[in-house]
Amino acid sequence: VRKPRVVVLGGGYGGLITVSRLQKLVGVNEADITLVNKNDYHYETTWLHEASAGTLHHDKARYQIKDVIDNSRVNFVKNTVVAINKDEKKIVLENSELHYDYLVVALGSQPETFGIKGLKEYAFGITNINSSRQLREHIEYQFATYNTEEVKRDERLTIVVGGAGFTGIEFLGELANRVPQLCKEYDIDNKKVRIVCVEAAPTALPGFDPELVDYAVNHLQRKGVDFMIGTAIKECTEKGIIVAKDDQMEEIKADTVVWAAGVRGNNVVEEAGFENMRGRVKVDEFLRAPGHDDVYIIGDCSLVINEEINRPYPPTAQIAMQQGETCAKNLSVSIREQGEMSGFKPEIKGAVASLGEHDAVGVVFGKKLVGSKASFMKKMIDNRALYMVGGAPLVIKKGKFNIL
């Protein structure tokens, strides 16, 4: 008899954990495992704010997938998923096709621009290695060009960050550290630089403890970030952005606009015809798409409800990795057609937002932390993600040890 074919789409947090656990749980004769990812490397999405600001080289935030999987057990395919045909149990790749018996969709998220005009065309995103590298280069180019022009354009040195959520705040923390370095390198007066954060919600870091929000905002303000809270970006243009607060419109001229205010699930999921909300599928307790017992959906493409507040959990790497573990277990039960499936229940250990290399705010195991203690925890969390996939060797190679 033919072995069941398991196809995992996406080599991010969810996909890699699934594969690394599954290759141990099922024997060679029990299943064929295939992992598909756009690139031959995995990147740490949760470190992209550093690569984007230029405080961490992007190579530090990625590693080769072949180095962390058992290549004798897993067939790795470097390709882009174009479509999922769930009725024919077929995956359409850019130049080939794959058939599955069991599918795991772990394709991560995409920026959500909420239809705001011009964002897609003119704003940068913190989405993957390519976008981070481009943003870092773009910012540096503005600084490098400033003094070459006879008529100085200060908007070259204005950076707008749309969104004061997790990603926006973490990026601002890195930027506030990077800007003085750039000023020194390119002989620019620090006072010429303007960093503006525009947030439509009534607070920065919505969902965080107000004391921690104050700490983060004060820290960033001291480092020169202007906050425009309760202010919506109405439009992004070639020249900057147009914002609105209490019916007042204002233009902010800026050569760099970064959109960090929203994500949605992958459009491949949407186009496949699964019932979804902005590309995220509300999965059953075993992480399967409703009505499709052969399709598991995890990570940012999935939607899991927090029963306590009856609202979805925000998409995080923490949840994606935990789902990967449950998914691998349940796949092994499906493959063997015996055993009990495990229901997924997220175990939220906390959340820590970094504010640059040596500062952070967060809650860990119910305890509020700020400053160097929080920053230390953040690095431990980052190292743990490496450990979960590649063990100690990967931590030694890519880990964060600059903890003082």
DSSP code of 244?
E
In the chain, the amino acid numbered 314 is P
Sole residue written with tokens 């598909």? 36
Characterise 361 by phi-psi region: left (phi > 0), alpha (psi -120 to 50), beta (else): beta
**Shortest reach from residue 266's CB to ligand FAD, in Å:** 6
- Candidate list 4, 10, 262, 399; residue touching ligand FAD; CB under 6 A: 10
Contact between 15 and ligand FAD per CB under 6 A? yes
Give residues 195-254 in contact with ligand FAD (rule: CB under 6 A).
Answer: none
Give residues 253-282 in contact with ligand FAD (rule: CB under 6 A).
Answer: 266, 268
Contact between 163 and ligand FAD per CB under 6 A? no
For the chain, give percent helix, strand, coil, nearest 5: 35, 30, 35
Contact between 322 and ligand FAD per CB under 6 A? no
- Candidate list 34, 37, 276, 375; residue touching ligand FAD; CB under 6 A: 37
Contact between 13 and ligand FAD per CB under 6 A? yes
Contact between 107 and ligand FAD per CB under 6 A? yes
User: Whole-angstrom Cα distance, residue 128 to residue 49?
Assistant: 10
Beta strands in 254-321 (DSSP E): 256-259, 263-265, 281-282, 288-289, 292-297, 302-303, 305-306, 311-312
Contact between 388 and ligand FAD per CB under 6 A? no
Of the pair 143, 166, the CB lying nearest ligand FAD is at 166
**Shortest reach from residue 226's CB to ligand FAD, in Å:** 21
In the beta sheet, which residues pair with residue 99?
90
- Candidate list 11, 162, 279, 399; residue touching ligand FAD; CB under 6 A: 11
Catalytic residue among 44, 50, 170, 357: 170
Of the pair 156, 356, the CB lying nearest ligand FAD is at 356
Of the pair 46, 326, the CB lying nearest ligand FAD is at 46
**Coil, helix or strand for 352?**
strand
- Candidate list 98, 236, 287, 317; residue touching ligand FAD; CB under 6 A: 317
Please identify the residue of the shown chain whose CB is closest to the bound ligand FAD. 12
**Shortest reach from residue 354's CB to ligand FAD, in Å:** 8
User: Whole-angstrom Cα distance, residue 327 to residue 166?
Assistant: 27
Contact between 81 and ligand FAD per CB under 6 A? yes
Phi/psi of residue 174, nearest 5 degrees: -70, -40
**Shortest reach from residue 317's CB to ligand FAD, in Å:** 4
- Candidate list 4, 8, 14, 51; residue touching ligand FAD; CB under 6 A: 14
Instruction: Give ∠ CA 104-93-114 in degrees, rounded to 5.
Output: 75
User: Whole-angstrom Cα distance, residue 155 to residue 253?
Assistant: 6
Instruction: Give ∠ CA 286-292-296 in degrees, rounded to 5.
Output: 45
From residue 207, give the alpha-carbon distance in Å to each of 203, 213, 252: 9, 9, 28
- Candidate list 20, 45, 113, 375; residue touching ligand FAD; CB under 6 A: 45
Contact between 320 and ligand FAD per CB under 6 A? yes
- Asked if 312 and 303 count as a contact pair (C-beta separation under 8 A), the reply is yes
- 325 is a catalytic site residue: no
User: Whole-angstrom Cα distance, residue 240 to residue 152?
Assistant: 17
**Shortest reach from residue 337's CB to ligand FAD, in Å:** 27
Chain residues in the site for ligand FAD (CB under 6 A):
10-15, 36-39, 42, 45-46, 48-49, 80-81, 106-108, 126, 128, 166-167, 170, 266, 268, 299-300, 315-318, 320
- Catalytic site positions: 170
